[in-house]
C-alpha cells in the first residue's frame, strides 16, 4: 500500500476555489472522484491524519498514488462535473453512484391535467420538464422554498384522489404550500399558470418574479402591512438563493473541445475540456516550452495540429466545434483540414459571451493554476533540489558541490539596446537580492560572444576588487594584543557596519545561455582575469545540450534528469530577467522629446512646463520671464532652456513639430 505522504501536494499548491478532485492508483486509473467548496480544505483532510480516517477512506488514500483537481466556477458546477466523471470513470471507491441511480432532478409533470412538482430519478418521461440535477438535500430545500411562492401540487395521485373524494385538502393545502386544486380553490387553468410560472423561474427568468415580489413588498409596506412585507422579504431572499445558473452544462446538442492557454515569456500551459452532449466528459493538460518570437495564434495552430494530427484516428471523436482563446494562424485552412479528418464540417470559434465564454474562462483558470503548479513543483521540493545538484555535479565531473550557481543571458533586438542579466541560485533556490543587470555598449555590443565576454569580465573584475578590499581591511584590523587597561590598547569599533561587498562571493558554477561560442568566450574572460576556481558550462536552447569549454562534443543529460530541469529553470529565469530589462531600456530609448536635451530639466519639471504652456512649441517661443512663471522653473533653468533652443536653431524647428511619442505603444506623451 502507498504512503499518502509520498504524493501529498503542498498546501500552498492547492487552490481554495470550488472544484472536483480525482485520486488515481499507480496504473493511472481513477479510483475516487469527489467535489468540494474549498479544494484546499477538503484535500488536506485526507492527509492530515490518515490513521483517523474511516475504513473506506483509509483504504482509498493508501491505494492511490496521486491526486489531481479541476477548478470550477461554483458549487453547482462542481456537482455537475463530479456526476459526469463518476459515470465516465466508474471509480471503485465511489460506491454511492456506481449503480443505475442518478442525481435527483426537480420535475414538473406538465403532461397531466393538474401538473405536479416532484423529485425524480432515472429515465426521462414525455411531457415532464426537468431541472437540475441537485444533491438530495438541496433539491428538497429548493422545492420547499419555491412552493411558498408557487404553490403547485406536489402530492401523489393517491392523496389527490382521496382529497377530491373527501372534499378536504391535504396538510400542504392547509399551510398554503399548495393551491389545493383538488377541492376547487383554484381552477385547473389557474393551477397550470402557477406551474408554468414555476417552470419559467427555474428556466432562468428569476428577475421577473423577484421584481414582482419586491413591488408587492413595497406595496405592503405602504399599507403598513409589515407582517406580509416580512414574509415577502423572506421569499425574495429565498428565491435569490435558489436561482444559480449552471455554466458547465451547455445546451444538450453541444459537442465541442474548449481550449485555453496561460503563458509567460518562456512556457505555456494548455488545458482542454471535452464537452459532449452538453457535459464535460474529459480534461487534458500540457505545459510546453515556447519557441522564441512565437505568437499566441501560432501556438494555438500548433496545438490543434498536435492534438488532432498526432493522436491517431480522429474520425468520430473530433467535435463539431473547437473553441479557442484566439483565432489561430491560417484558421480557414485549419478548419478545412479538421473537417477532412472528421468527415464533416468543423467550426473554429472564439467565444465572446454567454455560457461558452464562461466555460472558456473556467478552462483558462485551470491552465493558469497548472502553470503555477508546474513551476512550483520544479523548484520547491528539497529532495528534488538536492538530487538535481548531485546529478549536475556528477554529470559535469566537478570536484566541488554546487552551492552557488550564476547564470548569464544576453538580450537585444538586432544588436540594439544590448543588455545582459545575472541570476543567482544558492542551494537550488533563487537569491534575488544578488541578481544584477548589465548595459552593454561599444564594441562589446557587436555580437553575443563579445557581450558575454564583456559581462563576465566586468562581474569578476568587481569580485577581484571586492576580494582585495576585504583583504586590506582585514590587514588593517589586525593588531597586537596588549594587556587590558593599557593606555595604548586599541579601541575596537563595534558600531560602524562593515561595507557590503556586492560581488564578494564567487560561484562554483557559471552557466551561460548558449552553445560552444558563448562558453568559450566566458572561459576566456575568466582566464584573462586569473580566475581558475570557477567552472563554466553552457546550455544550448535548441537541443538542451550542455557544453563545456574547449570541448568538441556536448554533454547530453537525460530528458527526465532533475539536473537538466534545474539548468533549464535557471536559464529561463536569466532569460526572463534579461528580457524585462531589455524592454525597459528599449521603452526609454523609444520615447522621444524635444525637451530631453535641456541640461537640468528633469521629468517633473518637464511635465510642469508642458502643463503650464501646453506644447513644446510654446515653450520654445517663451521668454525667460514667461518660463519662470511655470512651477519649479527658476531664472537659471529658464535661461538654460532659452539657450538650448536658440543654439539648436533650425534643427529644433523640425523637432518641435513632432510630439513626444512612446514608439513601443504609439502613445502621444507630449503635445
Give residue 137's pLDDT.
60
271 forms beta bridges with: 260, 285
Higher-pLDDT residue of 378 and 258 is: 258
Res. 478 pLDDT band, cuts 50 70 90: very low
- Per the structure block, which three cell numbers stand in for 332? 480557414
Q: What is the pLDDT of residues 219-251, one digit of tens each?
A: 888 888 888 888 888 878 777 766 554 334 567
Rounded average pLDDT over 381-399:
78
Q: Among 118-127, 150-159, 655-664, which stretch is predicted with the lowest mean pLDDT?
A: 655-664
Res. 620 pLDDT band, cuts 50 70 90: confident
Is the per-residue pLDDT at 122 higher than 70?
no
pTM of the model: 0.40
Residue 627's Cβ-side half-sphere holds a number of Cα atoms within 13 Å equal to 24
Q: Given the C-alpha cell 454511492, which residue does it identify?
A: 96
Q: What percent of the chain has pLDDT over 90?
A: 6
Is the per-residue pLDDT at 98 higher than 60?
no
Q: What is the pLDDT of residues 405-425, one digit of tens each?
A: 999 988 887 777 788 899 998
Is the per-residue pLDDT at 450 higher than 70?
yes
Q: What are the φ and ψ backbone dihedral angles of 623, each rounded to 5 degrees?
A: -90, 175
Give residue 654's pLDDT.
40
Give residue 69's pLDDT.
93
Res. 323 pLDDT band, cuts 50 70 90: very high
Is the per-residue pLDDT at 96 higher than 70?
no
Q: Given the C-alpha cell 512651477, which residue does it identify?
A: 631
Q: Among 28-42, 70-84, 158-172, 355-369, which stretch is predicted with the lowest mean pLDDT?
A: 70-84
Q: What is the pLDDT of residues 285-321, one digit of tens each?
A: 888 766 555 678 878 887 887 777 654 444 446 888 9
Give residue 586's pLDDT.
75
CATH number of 4-89: 3.40.1440.10
Rounded average pLDDT over 392-407:
84
Give residue 22's pLDDT.
93
Give residue 667's pLDDT.
46
**Do 256-377 and 397-473+502-575 come out as alike in CATH topology?**
yes
Instruction: Report the candidate in 197, 194, 175 with the shortest Cα–Cα distance to residue 186.
Output: 194
Give residue 265's pLDDT.
62
21 forms beta bridges with: 34, 69
Over 27-57, what HEC string results? CCCEEEEEEECCHHHHHHHHHCCHHHCCHHH
- Per the structure block, which three cell numbers stand in for 648? 539648436
Is the per-residue pLDDT at 120 higher than 70?
yes
Res. 101 pLDDT band, cuts 50 70 90: very low
Select the highest-mean-pLDDT range: 137-141, 212-216, 480-484, 583-587. Answer: 212-216
Q: Sign of the C-alpha dihedral, residues 56, 61, 67, 73?
A: positive
Q: Among 99-108, 328-337, 518-527, which stretch is predicted with the lowest mean pLDDT?
A: 99-108
Q: Sheet with 66-71: list strands edge to edge.
A: 30-36, 19-24, 66-71
Higher-pLDDT residue of 503 and 434 is: 434
Give residue 325's pLDDT.
93
Is the per-residue pLDDT at 575 higher than 80?
yes
Give residue 322's pLDDT.
92
Q: Could you state, in order of their start, the residue ranges of all structural domains in the chain?
A: 4-89, 110-242, 256-377, 397-473+502-575, 590-670
512 forms beta bridges with: 408, 538
Q: What is the pLDDT of residues 11-31, one digit of tens each?
A: 888 999 889 999 998 888 888
Give residue 123's pLDDT.
64
Instruction: Report the candidate in 535, 536, 541, 534 with the shortest Cα–Cα distance to residue 568.
Output: 541
- Mean pLDDT, the chain, rounded, equals 78
Sequence-separated (6 or more) residues with CB below 8 Å from residue 255: 275, 276, 277, 319, 320, 321
Rounded average pLDDT over 427-449:
82
Select the highest-mean-pLDDT range: 138-142, 399-403, 459-463. Answer: 459-463
Give residue 487's pLDDT.
47
Over 115-148, what HEC string results? CEEEEECCCCCCCCEEECCCCHHHHHHHHHHHHH
Calpha distance 539→547 (Å, rounded)? 6
Rounded average pLDDT over 610-638:
83
Give residue 651's pLDDT.
41
Give residue 204's pLDDT.
61
Inter-residue contact 407 to 582 (CB < 8 Å): no
Give residue 214's pLDDT.
86
Give residue 407's pLDDT.
93
Q: Among 223-232, 258-267, 453-462, 473-482, which stretch is predicted with the lowest mean pLDDT?
A: 473-482
Start-to-end C-alpha separation, the chain: 73
Q: What are the φ and ψ backbone dihedral angles of 486, each rounded to 5 degrees?
A: -65, 145
Name the fold adopted by 256-377.
Answer: Nucleotidyltransferase; domain 5 (3.30.420)
Higher-pLDDT residue of 95 and 279 is: 279
Is the per-residue pLDDT at 68 higher than 60?
yes
Higher-pLDDT residue of 588 and 435 is: 435
Rounded average pLDDT over 170-188:
87
Is the per-residue pLDDT at 262 higher than 50?
yes
CATH class of 397-473+502-575: alpha beta
Give residue 294's pLDDT.
64
Q: What is the pLDDT of residues 349-370, one digit of tens each?
A: 999 988 888 889 888 988 888 8
Res. 134 pLDDT band, cuts 50 70 90: low
Give residue 75's pLDDT.
72
Q: What percent of the chain has pLDDT over 70?
A: 79
Q: What is the pLDDT of residues 54-63, one digit of tens each?
A: 777 888 888 8
Of the CATH numbers 3.90.209.20, 3.10.150.10, 1.10.150.20, 3.30.920.30, which one belongs to the domain with range 590-670?
Answer: 1.10.150.20
Is the per-residue pLDDT at 154 higher than 80?
yes
Amino acid at each position: 500500500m502507498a504512503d499518502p505522504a509520498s504524493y501529498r501536494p503542498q498546501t500552498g499548491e492547492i487552490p481554495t476555489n470550488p472544484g472536483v478532485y480525482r485520486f488515481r492508483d499507480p496504473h493511472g486509473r481513477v479510483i475516487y472522484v469527489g467535489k468540494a467548496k474549498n479544494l484546499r480544505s477538503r484535500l488536506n483532510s485526507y492527509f492530515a491524519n490518515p490513521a483517523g480516517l474511516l475504513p473506506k477512506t483509509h483504504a482509498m488514500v493508501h491505494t492511490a498514488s496521486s491526486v489531481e483537481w479541476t477548478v470550477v466556477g461554483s458549487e453547482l458546477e462542481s456537482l455537475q462535473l463530479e456526476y459526469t466523471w463518476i459515470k465516465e470513470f466508474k471509480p471503485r471507491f465511489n460506491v454511492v453512484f456506481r449503480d443505475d441511480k442518478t442525481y435527483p432532478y426537480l420535475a414538473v409533470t406538465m403532461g397531466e391535467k393538474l401538473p405536479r412538482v416532484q423529485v425524480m430519478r432515472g429515465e426521462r418521461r414525455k411531457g415532464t420538464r426537468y431541472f437540475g440535477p441537485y444533491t438530495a438535500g438541496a433539491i428538497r430545500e429548493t422545492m420547499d422554498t419555491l412552493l411558498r411562492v408557487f404553490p403547485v401540487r406536489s402530492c401523489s395521485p393517491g392523496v389527490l384522489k382521496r382529497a377530491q373524494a373527501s372534499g378536504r385538502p391535504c396538510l400542504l393545502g392547509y399551510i398554503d404550500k399548495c393551491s389545493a386544486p383538488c377541492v376547487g380553490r383554484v381552477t385547473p387553468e389557474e393551477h397550470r399558470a402557477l406551474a408554468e410560472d414555476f417552470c419559467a423561474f427555474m428556466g432562468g427568468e428569476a428577475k421577473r418574479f423577484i421584481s414582482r415580489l419586491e413591488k408587492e413588498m413595497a406595496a405592503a409596506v405602504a399599507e403598513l402591512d409589515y407582517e406580509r412585507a416580512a414574509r415577502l422579504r423572506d421569499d425574495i431572499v429565498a428565491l435569490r438563493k435558489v436561482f444559480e445558473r449552471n455554466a458547465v452544462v451547455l445546451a444538450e446538442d453541444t459537442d465541442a473541445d474548449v481550449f485555453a492557454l496561460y503563458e509567460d515569456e518562456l512556457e505555456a500551459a494548455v488545458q482542454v475540456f471535452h464537452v459532449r452532449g452538453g457535459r464535460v466528459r474529459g480534461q487534458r493538460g500540457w505545459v510546453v516550452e515556447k519557441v522564441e518570437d512565437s505568437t499566441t495564434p501560432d501556438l494555438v495552430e500548433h496545438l490543434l495540429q498536435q492534438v488532432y494530427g498526432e493522436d491517431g484516428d480522429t474520425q468520430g471523436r473530433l467535435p463539431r466545434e473547437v473553441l479557442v482563446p484566439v483565432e489561430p494562424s491560417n484558421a480557414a485552412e485549419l478548419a478545412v483540414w479538421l473537417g477532412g479528418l472528421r468527415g464533416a464540417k468543423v467550426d473554429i470559434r472564439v467565444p465572446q459571451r454567454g455560457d461558452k465564454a464562461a466555460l472558456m474562462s473556467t478552462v483558462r483558470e485551470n491552465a493558469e493554476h497548472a502553470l503555477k503548479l508546474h513551476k512550483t513543483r520544479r523548484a520547491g521540493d528539497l529532495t528534488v533540489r538536492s538530487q538535481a545538484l548531485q546529478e549536475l555535479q556528477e554529470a559535469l565531473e566537478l570536484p566541488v558541490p554546487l552551492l552557488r550557481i550564476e547564470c548569464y543571458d544576453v538580450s537585444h533586438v538586432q544588436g540594439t539596446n544590448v543588455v545582459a542579466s545575472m541570476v543567482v541560485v544558492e542551494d537550488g533556490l533563487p537569491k534575488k537580492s544578488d541578481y544584477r543587470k548589465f548595459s552593454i555598449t561599444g564594441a562589446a555590443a557587436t555580437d553575443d560572444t563579445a557581450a558575454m565576454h564583456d559581462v563576465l569580465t566586468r562581474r569578476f573584475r568587481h569580485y577581484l576588487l571586492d576580494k582585495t578590499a576585504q583583504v586590506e581591511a582585514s590587514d588593517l584590523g589586525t593588531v597586537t594584543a596588549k594587556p587590558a587597561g593599557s593606555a595604548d590598547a586599541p579601541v575596537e569599533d563595534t558600531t560602524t557596519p562593515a561595507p557590503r561587498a556586492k560581488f564578494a562571493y564567487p560561484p562554483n558554477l557559471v552557466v551561460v545561455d548558449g552553445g560552444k561560442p558563448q562558453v568559450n568566450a566566458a572561459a576566456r574572460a575568466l582566464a584573462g582575469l586569473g580566475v581558475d576556481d570557477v567552472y563554466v558550462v553552457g546550455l544550448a536552447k535548441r537541443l538542451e545540450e550542455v557544453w563545456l569549454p574547449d570541448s568538441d562534443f556536448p554533454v547530453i543529460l537525460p530528458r527526465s534528469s532533475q539536473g537538466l530541469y534545474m539548468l533549464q529553470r535557471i536559464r529561463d529565469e536569466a532569460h526572463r530577467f534579461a528580457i524585462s530589462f531589455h524592454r525597459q531600456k528599449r521603452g526609454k530609448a523609444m520615447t522621444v522629446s524635444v525637451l530631453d536635451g535641456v541640461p537640468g530639466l528633469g521629468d517633473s519639471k518637464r511635465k510642469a512646463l508642458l502643463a503650464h504652456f501646453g506644447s513644446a512649441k510654446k515653450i520654445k517661443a517663451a521668454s525667460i520671464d514667461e518660463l519662470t512663471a511655470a512651477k519649479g522653473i527658476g531664472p537659471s533653468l529658464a535661461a538654460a532652456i532659452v539657450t538650448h533652443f536658440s543654439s539648436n536653431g533650425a534643427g529644433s524647428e523640425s523637432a518641435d513639430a513632432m510630439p513626444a511619442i512612446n514608439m513601443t505603444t504609439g502613445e502621444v506623451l507630449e503635445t
